[in-house]
Amino acid sequence: MDWTEAALVDSDPRLPNTINGLPVTSIGNVAFSYCARLTSVVIPNGVTRIGNTAFFSCASLTCVAIPGSVGSIGNFAFESCMRLTGVYFAGNAPGLGAIVFGYTIVPDRYDTNAVVYCLPGTTGWGATFGDLPTVLWNPQVQTSGASFGVQANQYGFNITGSSNLVIVVEACTNLDNPAWSPLQTITLTGRPVYFTDPQWTNYGRRFYRLGVP
Residue 166: CA atoms inside 13 Å, Cβ hemisphere, count? 13
State whether residue 96 is helix, strand or coil: strand
Residue 13: the pLDDT is 57
Confidence of residue 8 (pLDDT cuts 50, 70, 90): very low
Residue with more model confidence, 187 or 11: 187
Confidence of residue 74 (pLDDT cuts 50, 70, 90): very high
Q: Who's near 50: CB < 8 A, 6+ residues apart?
A: 26, 27, 43, 66, 70, 72, 73, 74, 77
- Compute the mean pLDDT over every residue in the chain, rounded to the nearest whole number: 84
What is the C-alpha separation between 87 and 116, in angstroms, rounded? 5
- What are the sequence ranges of the domains in the chain? 1-136, 140-211
User: Which tens digit of pLDDT belongs to each residue from 95-125?
Assistant: 998 889 876 555 555 566 789 999 999 999 9
User: Which tens digit of pLDDT belongs to each residue from 16-69?
Assistant: 676 777 777 889 999 999 988 888 898 989 999 999 999 998 989 998 999 999
Fold of 1-136: 3.80.10
The total of other beta-carbon atoms located within 10 Å of residue 165's CB is 23
Q: Indicate the CATH number for domain 140-211.
A: 2.60.40
Q: Are 183 and 156 in contact (CB under 8 A)?
A: no
Q: What is the pTM of this model?
A: 0.80
Residue 67: the pLDDT is 92
Residue 92: the pLDDT is 97
Q: Who's near 89: CB < 8 A, 6+ residues apart?
A: 66, 68, 116, 117, 118, 119, 122
Residue 117: the pLDDT is 93
What is the C-alpha separation between 50 and 27, in angstroms, rounded? 5
Residue 132's closest CA among 146, 145, 119, 113? Answer: 113
Q: Is 136 exposed, middle or buried (0-12, 13-18, 19+ CB in 10 A)?
A: middle
Give the start-end residues of each E strand in the chain: 2-3, 18-19, 22-23, 26-27, 40-42, 49-50, 63-66, 72-73, 86-89, 95-96, 115-118, 128-129, 132-136, 140-142, 149-151, 154-160, 166-172, 181-187, 193-197, 207-211
Residue 16: the pLDDT is 65
Confidence of residue 144 (pLDDT cuts 50, 70, 90): confident
